[in-house]
Amino acid sequence: MSHEQQISTGLILDAWNLQIKRANNLFNYLSAEQLQSEIAPDRNRGVYLLGHLTAVHDTMLPLLNLNERLYPLLDNIFIENPDKSFAMMPSTHDLKFYWNQVNETLAAKFTRLEPSDWLKKHNEVNAEDFKKEPHRNRLNVLINRTNHLSYHLGQLTLLKNKS
Amino acid sequence: MSHEQQISTGLILDAWNLQIKRANNLFNYLSAEQLQSEIAPDRNRGVYLLGHLTAVHDTMLPLLNLNERLYPLLDNIFIENPDKSFAMMPSTHDLKFYWNQVNETLAAKFTRLEPSDWLKKHNEVNAEDFKKEPHRNRLNVLINRTNHLSYHLGQLTLLKNKS
């Protein structure tokens, strides 16, 4: 594996870590009331996006072949159904705990991966297809999930200064 | 330059192109009235974010050592000052034209870069510092600007279904 490949992988990991740090800062900054409010009229609540991001990051564990799911029950509430579909959902306190557990598990697993490991196939492509489509690798998943996180951070930041 | 490095650079370019395509689709979909409205109460208008993204992408031309600025006058309105600072600003029609010109210029220049070119220093770091900090390269700029675009796309999408 080349030095150049090491640099590129490092940049992509740095971008992921930066967005995770921004998200952590924002979730710590926002009050429980702010997280309960909508990012814009009739749009998702902050707490739904917190659960959504947690569930999506949790799916990365098996997708990147790193670990089993930690909180598979989140998918029904936060991926498969829109906000306000359920009268009962996990508390903000619990969701913040899940969010940290998932991202810390990812971070611990990431430290054990070499640059070459990032170019291996992810778990939703079979070996035959991967030969023809080598871009369907772990690094691609990480790039796309980083942009997904940035997308929702742009929305969550709108909760600042809301009473 | 290794085959692996080629794959990684391709993934990062693909992510940029995907977000540009999503932005183009959204800017084409939104009406002039929707673009004039705020993404959330007392927040930036769509048209401000269109100008902001255009100006930021325009700064990439010299930063990546590809071209002179096309529209340097946008910075005062769309980077250095917040929305609604000026009574007069370019029309939405003109901003869409600038947006396309800037991104098409970037795309044309990108096709001439080899994977190894992307690891060269960007223009805001000097050669001496770059030896110590090889991550301050063009590829890093592209990754960060892609996330910046995703961040604002998450906001612009809130303009859909607004009258």
pLDDT in tens, B49-103: 999 999 999 999 999 999 999 999 999 999 999 999 999 999 999 999 999 999 9
| Interface A:B, Cβ pairs < 8 A | 104
- pLDDT at residue number B64: 98
Residues in B closer than 8 angstroms to A43, CB to CB, are: 158
Partner B contacted by A160 (CB < 8 A): no
> Would the CB atoms of B12 and A8 count as touching at under 8 Å?
yes
Taking only residues 44 to 73 of chain B, the set having a beta carbon closer than 8 angstroms to any beta carbon of chain A reads none
Nearest CA in chain B to A39: B40
Q: What does the pLDDT look like over B101-118, one tens digit per residue?
A: 999 999 999 999 999 999
Both tokens assigned to B27: 């800017």
Confidence at A117, pLDDT banded by 50, 70, 90: very high
- Tell me the C-alpha distance between A39 and A161, whole Å: 11
DSSP B38: B
Across B26-40, average pLDDT: 97
> Would the CB atoms of A4 and B148 count as touching at under 8 Å?
no
CB-nearest partner of A10 from B116, B135, B147: B135
Amino acid found at A58: D
Predicted confidence (pLDDT) at residue A162 exceeds the cutoff of 80: no
Predicted confidence (pLDDT) at residue B162 exceeds the cutoff of 80: no
Contact B40, B86 (CB under 8 A): no
- pLDDT at residue number B15: 98
Predicted confidence (pLDDT) at residue B163 exceeds the cutoff of 80: no
CA torsion through residues A153, B156, B139, B11, sign: positive
Taking only residues 11 to 30 of chain B, the set having a beta carbon closer than 8 angstroms to any beta carbon of chain A reads 11-12, 14-15, 19
- pLDDT at residue number B5: 84
- For testing contact with chain A, the best of B8, B20, B132, B137 (most A CBs within 10 A): B8
> Would the CB atoms of B158 and A11 count as touching at under 8 Å?
no
* Mean of pLDDT over chain B: 96
Contact A145, A23 (CB under 8 A): no
Confidence at A163, pLDDT banded by 50, 70, 90: low
> Would the CB atoms of A8 and B10 count as touching at under 8 Å?
no
Predicted confidence (pLDDT) at residue A95 exceeds the cutoff of 90: yes
- pLDDT at residue number B151: 98
Predicted confidence (pLDDT) at residue B25 exceeds the cutoff of 90: yes
Confidence at A5, pLDDT banded by 50, 70, 90: confident
Confidence at A1, pLDDT banded by 50, 70, 90: low
Amino acid found at A52: H
- Report the percent of chain A where pLDDT is more than 90: 94
- pLDDT at residue number B99: 98
> Would the CB atoms of A143 and B119 count as touching at under 8 Å?
no
CB-nearest partner of B150 from A2, A39, A151: A151
Contact A119, A8 (CB under 8 A): no
- pLDDT at residue number A4: 84
Q: How many CB atoms lie within 10 A of CB B156?
A: 23
A115-141: burial string, b at 16+ Cβ within 10 Å, e else: bebbbebbeebeeeeeeeebeebbbbb
Partner A contacted by B143 (CB < 8 A): yes
